[in-house]
Structure 1
Amino acid sequence: MENFFTILGGMGTLATESFIHTLNQRTEAHRDQDYLNYIVVNHATIPDRTAYIKDSSLENPELKLIDDIKLQSRLAPKFFVIPCNTAHYYFSELEKATEIPILHMPRIAVEAIATHYPEAKRVAVLATEGTILTGVYREELKAHGYEAVSPSDVLQEKVNRLIYQEVKENKNLNFELYHEILSDVASEMDCEVTILGCTELSVLYDAYDLTKEFNIIDAQAETIHRTLVMMGKKDLEDDK
């Protein structure tokens, strides 16, 4: 197969499924051959990223991610996409394992702020505790001149529950909790933009369009756009 890219997924599987579905929906295609060539690696047994970040005595997912990168590099994809924000904590080590470009989801999300919300200064980040603790988004936002604002402990608990108990554990897209969280951000955090920095939150973003009510940057949606651009395809979302 020529002219293809590789998706390193399974973190989690529903999020990977959402990435693929949205990518296909946004690809301009009138026949089978118009869709993109890609390989999906759904490595669902990679250890939990946040669990390891919070407790380094647990199994380190980095080693398995590096193995996947090395193995898939033999097939020579154009680039890699990793639809898991927390996994980008290991980005620099993954880059060292291959000469093939890896899209940096948090960086792509932050770069999109200037396009969608050029007046923004303070940016709220909703993500796993692991992503918040590692500062993946905080560093990118600072580098681009934004102030990163993290949720309170109470709000983070709600985000944790939505990601882990609702989406990951029960496959439940809890609209009420999702809307409550975004409302809390709007009323409590004094931010112009909210980044959804977890692909489980991206599943909810795809299911419920709240962009007219809240200023949202979805990291997965922006990475899908970048993927289409890099593959020379029109993004149908641009017509909306």
Structure 2
Amino acid sequence: MEHFFTIIGGMGTSATETYLHQLNERTPATNDQEYLNYILVNHATVPDRTDYILDHSKPSPLPPLLTDFKQQAALKPDFFTLPCNTAHYFYDELTKATDIPILHMPREAVKWIGQNLPNAHRVGLISTEGTRADHIYDDEIKNAGYELVLPDDKIQQQTNELIYANVKEKNSVDRVLYHEILRQMFEEKDCDTVVLGCTELSLAQDREPYTKHPVTDSQSILVNKTIELAKKYAQE
């Protein structure tokens, strides 16, 4: 297969399915042959990223992820995508395992803010506690010159409930809860935009869109960047 990319997904599977759905839906294709070539590695048994980040005595996701990247690198994809925000904690180690480019979802999301929301100053972040602890978004947001706004304990607990009790456990989205989380971030925390720093939150945005204020959907942005890069490689 010529000019393809590899998706290292399955963290979680429902969120990866949303990524694929958006990828295929947004690809400008009128027949089978105009869709993108890709391989999906839906590695659902990768240990929980947040569990490990918060407690290093728990099983590490890094060894299985390294194996995935090394195995797929042997097939020589044009690039990799990693549709799991928390897994970017291991980004530097993963890039050392291959010379094939790996798209950096948090970096692309922050770049998107600068390109599309020029008046944004206060950038909120909702995510897993693992992503909060590993600061992968904090550094990107602050280095771009924005003021980072994090949720308080109440909003974080609501976010945890949405991610784990709703999406991961039941593959469902509590629309009222999701919209209330964002309402608080925008109206009480005075955010100019809020980054969805977890792909389960991106799934929630896909199914129950919040449109009252500008949301920065990291996975949706990754989808667009994936299509852009795949088309670029296909033309070479």
User: Normalising by the residue count of structure 2, what TM-score does the alignment of the two structures yield?
Assistant: 0.96
SS of residue in 2 equivalent to 1:148: strand
**8 Å Cα contact 2:106/2:140 also seen in 1:** yes
Q: For the residues of structure 2 that align with 1:183 and 1:79, how far apart are their CA atoms?
A: 37
Distance (Å, rounded) in 1 between the aligned partners of 2:143 and 2:99: 25
- Give, as a single letter, the amino acid of the residue that structure 2 aligns with 1:217: T
How far apart, in 1, do the equivalents of 2:190 and 2:206 lie?
25
Contact 1:137–1:148 (8 Å) recurs in 2 = no
Question: In the TM superposition, what is the alpha-carbon distance from 1:99 to its structure 2 partner?
Answer: 0.4
Alignment of 1:76-87 (within 5 A): 76-87=76-87
Deviation readout 1:43-87 (Å, 9 max, x if unpaired)? 000000000111110111011111111110000001000110000
- Indicate conservation of the 8 Å contact 2:186/2:193, yes or no: no
In the other structure, the counterpart of 2:115 is 115
- Tell me, in whole angstroms, the C-alpha distance in 1 between the residues paired with 2:112 and 2:166: 28
| Cα distance in 1 for residues equivalent to 2:207 and 2:91 | 29
Aligned equivalent of 1:237? none
Partner of 2:88: 88
Read off the aligned partner of 1:72 and give its amino acid letter: Q
Please report how far the alpha carbon of residue 18 of structure 1 lies from its aligned counterpart in structure 2 after TM superposition: 0.5
Counterpart in 1 of 2:213?
214
> Does 2:202 match 1:231?
no
Partner of 1:44: 44
Instruction: Write the deviation string for residues 164-197 of structure 1: whole angstroms up to 9, x where unpaired.
Output: 0000001111111101111111222111010001
Q: TM-score, normalised by structure 1?
A: 0.95
Cα separation, 1, equivalents of 2:129 and 2:61: 16
Distance 2:123 2:106 in 1: 13
Task: Give the match for residue 236 of structure 1.
Answer: none
The DSSP-based 3-state class of the residue aligned with 1:232 is helix
What's the % identity of the aligned pairs? 51
What are the Cα deviations for residues 105-135 of structure 1, in whole angstroms up to 9, with x where unaligned?
0000000001221011110001000001110
After superposition, the CA RMSD in angstroms is 0.9
Give unpaired runs (5+ residues) of structure 1: 234-240
Aligned to 1:67: 67
| Residues matched between the structures, number | 232
**Structure 2 residue matching 1:202: 3-state secondary structure:** helix
Q: Give the letter aligned to residue 30 of structure 1.
A: T
Measured in 2, the distance between the counterparts of 1:174 and 1:29 equals: 33
1:202 and 2:202 are equivalent in the alignment? yes
Unaligned runs of at least 5 residues, structure 2: none
CA distance in structure 1 between the partners assigned to 2:143 and 2:93 by the alignment: 20
Are 2:13 and 1:6 equivalent residues in the alignment?
A: no
